[in-house]
Amino acid sequence: MTSLLPYICADRAADALAFYAEAFGAEELYRLTLPDGTIPHAEIRIGDSLLMVCDEVPNEGVYGPKKLGGVSAQFTIDVDDVDALDALWAQATGTGVEVERELGDRFYGRRSGVLRDPFGHRWTISTVIDVVSPDEMQRLLSEEAQLRMPRERRRTTHMDE
C-alpha cells in the first residue's frame, strides 16, 4: 500500500505541537528531541490522519512558511457534519488563530472556513453540505469569477447587451 504523509516544519515545533493539540484536538504519538531541545521529528494524529512535524533545519534548507514568507502547502480538516464543523471552528478560533475566511457555504458544496496558524500554515476546516458535480462546480466557479471581475473585463454574450 502507498500513502502520502504530510511533513511540516515550524519555527518552534514544540509550540506547534501544543497549538495543534489545543486548536484541532491533535493527539501526539511521539516526539524525538535533540540535546538542544529541537525536535527533528514528531508525529501527531488529527482525526484519522497522521501529520509529521519538525523544527527548522537551516543547514538542510528546511524552513517553516513564516521564514519563507508564504504558504507552500495547505491542509483541510474534513469533519462529519455542520455541528462538528462549528465545534472545531469554535475550538480553533478560541486559540486566537488568524481567520482568513469566515465559515460560509461555498459553491462547490462545502461549508468551510480558513485559518492561519501562528507558525504560518494555512488550514481549512470543512464539511460537505451538498453533492455538486465537477461540471456544475466549474459552471459556478466561472459565474463567481465573472462577478468578481471589474465590469469592463467581464465576458459578454448577446444576452448581456
Domains of the chain: residue spans and CATH: 7-153 (3.10.180.10)
- Cell numbers 469592463 correspond to 152
- Cell numbers 504560518 correspond to 120
**Cα separation, 49 vs 5, whole angstroms:** 8
Instruction: Give pLDDT, residue 144.
Output: 73
Q: Between 160 and 71, where is the model more confident?
A: 71
Q: What is the pLDDT of residues 40-82, one digit of tens each?
A: 999 999 999 999 999 999 998 899 998 998 887 789 999 999 9
**Cα separation, 94 vs 85, whole angstroms:** 14
Instruction: Give pLDDT, residue 152.
Output: 63
Burial class, 112, CB count within 10 angstroms (exposed 0-12 / middle 13-18 / buried 19+): buried
**Range of weakest confidence among 3-7, 21-25, 128-132:** 3-7
